Amino acid sequence: MQRNIFVLMIFSIILAACGGDNDQGGNASQVEQNRPAQNRLQVPALLDSRTMSDIELVLQKGDHEFYPGVASETMGFNGDYLGPTIRLYDDTDTTITFTNNIGEPTTVHGHGLHVPGEIDGGPQAVIQDGESWQITIPVRQEAGVSWYHPHYMGKTAHHVHAGLAGLYFIEDANSQALDLPKTYGVNDIPLVVQDRSFTDGKMNEYAVTMDQIMNGLREDTLIVNGTVDAYHEVPQGWVRLRLVNGSNARFYRFHFGDDVPFFKIATEGGFLNRPVELTTLDMAPGERNEIMIDLSAGANMTLWADLLSADPEDGASWNQNLPRVNVVELRVNETIPASGTLPENLNDIAYFDRSEATQTRNIVLSMEVNGNNDQALDHEGHEGHGGETAGHMSLFGINGQPMDMGLINDRINKGEVELWQITGERMPHPFHIHGASFQIITLNGEPVSEADRGWKDTVVVWDEVTEILVRFDYEATEEFPYMYHCHMFEHEEYGMMGQFTVE
């Protein structure tokens, strides 16, 4: 605890020195957004890997109109903002070609995919401007929602913020057999939730103050699939929402207001065994969840998000009087055919047992680095391993060690179950692991609830221990290692990331 107070003092000093701008830095009470849902939800195009032999995605600059008649400078895949949803099938290899036309190097990571390090798209897999990167994804995993986005050292936050992100919908024999709503964009709806800020209708380009680096960039306007103030027409029946928190750092509490029940059916890497009834659902950056809501009574329903602040110890803004914003208003249109229902059983997860673990690893997401910030500060702009930039200065780390592309933090044996005990300093951090899905045993010191007993690849860790069991089934070499990191992009960019091999 004393250490936390010390860290907070240091932050205050840095803040004072930098004249940190607090406007968007997590003071949630300043954020209000009570406008009517007035824009039809944009639904990303769907590319089906079974009907398309070549899937090509071009990373390009765009002029996206969040507000009619006002173009913002954005980036997208095959369009102005975000990218198509790609439907992948378990047991079906799919080739995708990414062509980089954004004018600078980047990478495309497959977040949630169980693939070898070589095609994971981490910081080493650089696609130079004007070049293409072709990968064949050997899809061997359960149905779920994964997503693709840049993972380039020093520019991940910029590139995702500009709009470079898209979804993979993975289907398997189980998902195809279940009688779920599955008409894309009609009753099976992707919702990529992000926060942005605007000046006269134009999106503010990515820029962060020291305060926003510390707390993560939290902006005041919610956008869903690139749509501000969204509504969507849905059938009078069950509706399935595939929620993706694609924000840089914002945590949300989703709900339908007035304790209206809904059902969580899936986490990142697959279905839960059975639907879990909830009235609220918290989601951190990088997390995906599928929920279902019954609209058969015919009334319109609005999905709301309460904007959570950075510091939960500031109880007033973490749990009370939170600003509530519209995510999407679901407008029932009885002329749209309804289909699918809520199955009683969804999955039969093979749970790991902690007695299987061959190795225990302790991981701390550190808000301070190896005792020597002066040295770390000199790292800005320094040319790192492989001739690629090492990114920003190192303020944060994993176990006190800031991200270093020339350093392998952990070496892991392929095919063995491991127990990872993870904590995060000062605030909740969404911890993401590449290359595999994992299972949570304890979540911030508490036994995991049924709603979180599914396949995960991102979990919020904090001051009490979170224990997970994980097994990596694919190889990641020193040349193309996997990453683990905080998925608040500002923390990741400033050092809260590490690399590991699987062999």
Residues within the interface to Cu ion (CB under 5 A)? 429, 486, 488, 491
CB of 154 to Cu ion, least distance (A): 17
The encoded tokens of residue 8 equal 């907070």
Q: Check if the beta carbon of residue 203 is closer than 8 Å to that of residue 81.
A: no
End-to-end CA distance of the chain: 38
- DSSP alpha helices (H): ranges in 28-165? 156-162
**CB nearer Cu ion, residue 429 or residue 471:** 429
Our CB check for Cu ion shows the closer of 237 and 495 to be 495
Residue closer to Cu ion (CB basis): 142 or 219 = 219
Tokens for 175, please give them: 């998902």
Distance between CA atoms of 448 and 451, rounded to whole angstroms? 8
Q: Minimum distance from CB of 404 to Cu ion (Å)?
A: 18
Question: H or E stretch including 493?
Answer: helix 489-493
SS3 state of residue 271: strand
Cross-strand pairs, 442 = 447, 467
| Residue number with CB closer to Cu ion (242 or 491) | 491
Give the DSSP per-residue string, 288-304.
EEEEEEE-TT---EEEE
Strand order in the sheet with 301-307: 39-40, 230-234, 324-332, 301-307, 252-255, 281-283
Least distance between Cu ion and beta carbon 448 (Å): 21
The least distance separating Cu ion from the CB of residue 302, rounded to whole angstroms, comes to 30
Which of 4, 296 has the CB closer to Cu ion? 4
- Contacts of residue 156, defined as CB under 8 A and 6 or more positions apart, other chains included, come to 149, 150, 489, 492, 493
Give the nearer residue to Cu ion in terms of CB position, either 325 or 488: 488
Q: Which two tokens stand for residue 446?
A: 């508490």
Nearest distance, CB of residue 15 and Cu ion, angstroms: 17
- Least separation in angstroms between residue 473's CB and Cu ion is 27
| CB nearer to Cu ion: pick between 114 and 491 | 491
Min. distance of Cβ 488 from Cu ion in angstroms? 4
